[in-house]
Each structure stands twice: as C-alpha cells, then as structure tokens.
A and B are shown apart, each in its own frame.
Chain A
C-alpha cells in the first residue's frame, strides 16, 4: 500500500499552467515508470527510467517532461496541456527494467480545463 506514493492525488490545471507530479518508491527498486490511464483504454506506458537513466520514451508529447533525480523519486513536469490529457497518471516501480513485477502507486487524477 505505501510502497509507491504519488502526490498530489488530484490536480486541476488550466492549459497555460505548469505543474508537477511526484512519485516516490520505498521498495529499493531501480526502475520507475509513468503510465497514463484513460477510461476504456489500455494503460499507456509513457516513460521508463532504470538507475536514473531514461530507457524508454513512448512517443510522448514534449508538454510532458519527466525527471528522475535518483532511483527513489520520479517527477512528471506538465506544461501547456490539452483537455485530452485529462487522465489518471500512474507511477510504478520494479526491481529492474525487464521481467520484474511492477508495483503501482495510487495515481494522480489530472483534469485539464
């Protein structure tokens, strides 16, 4: 339950705002992930970091900017978002970037107005 935490849990922002989502994992893992979850769609992998290095960017628009200062923290910086970016943003971590179980945080519910 408390292995992966995300803040804030809810965020409402205008299209011209700049905000950041934060994720912290307390599991000693080396890989961290950002996913986008929209209604009636599969979870979409956005970014993967392994040992602080980005290993995957799944063609995500540049208005989403990830940052991974260390293996325990992951940020998603948001700017000039669109209403269609409204979704639940999930962070996950795993022991490594590969065939390891992923542990998800509770997500940040983002609404772009």
Chain B
C-alpha cells in the first residue's frame, strides 16, 4: 500500500530532447505528489509538486502529468539541458497516519548528452 514505483531506472536524452519519468502509486490516501532533483554530492531538493485535483502542472520546462484513475503521474522535462543531469525521485504523501510521511520512488538517473 505504501509503494511508489518509478521507471526507468536510468535515462539518456540528447540535449533539446524530452525526458519522461513515470511513477505509479498504490496508496489512495496520497494527496500530494512531489518530484525531487538530486545532484551528486547534494541532498534532494523539491523541484515541482502536484495535488490530484488537477491533471497537469507546469513550471518552466518541467511538467507533471497526473492520472488519478490510473494512479500514475509523470515528469516531463522539455528541451532537456546538460544541467538537468541528475537523479530524480517521485514521492507520494497523504494527510494522516502512516500515509502522512513521504514515500519515495527508487529514483531515475538522467543524463543529458550534448
């Protein structure tokens, strides 16, 4: 019930291309879905987040698409740049009880090549 499954494990995209990372969750109590970006030697940092009352959220080149019925959400990075090379984690969180703590996916290592 607490799992968040993330794919792919690693991704190589050419500069200017679109990077897509997918996540699926099981816990229907989750109502907050953040994405974190982690560079080598740094801790994860919040990148963008969505709540299930909307199907899409866009911030600059980063977009979250959310499908509540399928319990899936994805991160799209448009016009990917070498500076986007990092590990990306999706997560889910609910309001109360055991669901109130962030449950993370396993991470996707993105490499953007020139």
Residues B101 and A40 in contact, CB atoms below 8 Å apart: no
**Complex Cα distance A84/B102, Å?**
23
Q: Which residues of chain A from 60 to 93 have a CB within 8 Å of any chain B CB?
A: 90, 92
Which listed residue, B46, B95, B105, touches A101 by the CB 8 Å rule?
A: B46
Stretch in contact with the other chain, from B11-19, B37-45, B56-64, B70-78 = B37-45
When distances are taken between beta carbons in the complex, the residues of chain A under 8 Å from B101 are 45, 48, 56
Candidates B9, B45, B106; contact of A42 at CB < 8 Å: B106
Chain A facing B: main interface SS: loop
A-B contact pairs, 23 of them (CB 8 A): A40-B107, A41-B106, A42-B4, A42-B103, A42-B107, A43-B44, A43-B89, A45-B101, A45-B102, A56-B101, A90-B44, A99-B32, A99-B93, A99-B95, A101-B34, A101-B46, A102-B102, A103-B45, A104-B44, A104-B45, A106-B41, A106-B43, A107-B42
Chain A residues in contact with chain B, CB under 8 A? 4, 40-43, 45, 48, 56, 90, 92, 98-99, 101-107
Interfacial residues, chain B to chain A (CB-CB below 8 A): 4, 9, 32, 34, 41-46, 89, 93, 95, 100-107
